[in-house]
């Protein structure tokens, strides 16, 4: 009976771990999307700064 109880505890722990992995994966996907958005915004800002710098130097 003790072995069965240990096996059930191990299965339960594995299921809990699988759920946590799924949640972490979802969170990671959200972070990746947010990071891509920040990257696009940063590129736009860099372009504006570069363009402005060239405009000032051209005067």
> Into how many domains does the chain fold?
1
Q: Which helix (H) or strand (E) holds 59?
A: none
Is residue 9 situated within a structural domain?
no
The answer to whether position 22 is within a domain reads yes
Q: Tell me how far apart the alpha carbons of residues 59 and 57 are, in angstroms, rounded to a whole number.
A: 6
Under DSSP, is residue 10 helix (H, G, I), strand (E, B) or coil? helix
29 located within any domain? yes
> Over the chain, what is the mean pLDDT?
95
In a domain, 5, yes or no: no
Any domain includes 4 = no
What is the pLDDT confidence band of residue 26, given thresholds at 50, 70 and 90? Answer: very high
Q: What CA–CA distances, in Å, run from 34 to 11, 27, 30?
A: 35, 11, 6
Query: Is 0.85 surpassed by the pTM of this model?
Result: no
In the prediction, which pLDDT does 58 show? 81
- Extract the tokens encoding 12: 């339960």
Q: Is 40 a domain residue?
A: yes
Domain with 22, as residue range(s), is 15-59
3-state DSSP assignment of residue 58: coil
């Amino acid at each position: 009976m003790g072995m069965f109880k240990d096996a059930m505890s191990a299965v339960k722990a594995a299921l809990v771990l699988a759920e946590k992995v799924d949640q972490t994966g979802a969170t990671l996907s959200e972070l990746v999307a947010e990071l891509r958005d920040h990257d696009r915004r940063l590129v736009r800002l860099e372009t504006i700064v570069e363009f402005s710098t060239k405009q000032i130097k051209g005067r």
